[in-house]
Amino acid sequence: MSAIQKKLEAASEQYAASFDKGHLILPPAKKYLVVTCMDARIDPAAAFGIELGDAHVVRNAGGSAIEAIRSIVISQQLLGTTEVLVVKHTDCGMLTFKNRDAYSRVREHLGPPAHAELTARSFDFLPFPELDEAVADDVEFLRDSRLVPEHVTISGWVYDVKSGKTRRVPDRPRV
Residues 93-112 that bind a second copy (CB under 8 A): 93-94, 96-97, 102, 105-106, 109-111
* Closest CB to a second copy among residues 74, 172: 74
Q: Is 89 labelled a binding residue?
A: yes
Any contact of residue 135 with a second copy (CB under 8 A)? Answer: no
Amino acid identity, position 142: L
Any contact of residue 43 with a second copy (CB under 8 A)? Answer: yes
DSSP of the chain, one letter per residue?
Answer: --HHHHHHHHHHHHHHHT---TT--SS-TT-EEEEEE--TT--HHHHHT--TTSEEEEEETT--TTTTHHHHHIIIIIH---EEEEEEETT-GGGS--HHHHHHHHHHHH-HHHHHHHHHTT------S-HHHHHHHHHHHHHH-TTS-TTSEEEEEEE-TTT--EEEEPPPPP-
Q: At closest approach, how far in Å is the CB of 110 from a second copy?
A: 6
Q: How far apart are CA 157 and CA 160, in angstroms?
A: 10
Any contact of residue 122 with a second copy (CB under 8 A)? Answer: no
Q: Is 124 labelled a binding residue?
A: no
Any contact of residue 24 with a second copy (CB under 8 A)? Answer: yes
Which of 80, 98, 117, 119 is in the footprint of a second copy by CB under 8 A?
117
Which of 98, 168, 170, 171 is in the footprint of a second copy by CB under 8 A?
168
Q: Is 92 labelled a binding residue?
A: yes
Which of 147, 170, 171, 172 is in the footprint of a second copy by CB under 8 A?
147
Which of 75, 138, 142, 169 is in the footprint of a second copy by CB under 8 A?
75
Any contact of residue 12 with a second copy (CB under 8 A)? Answer: yes
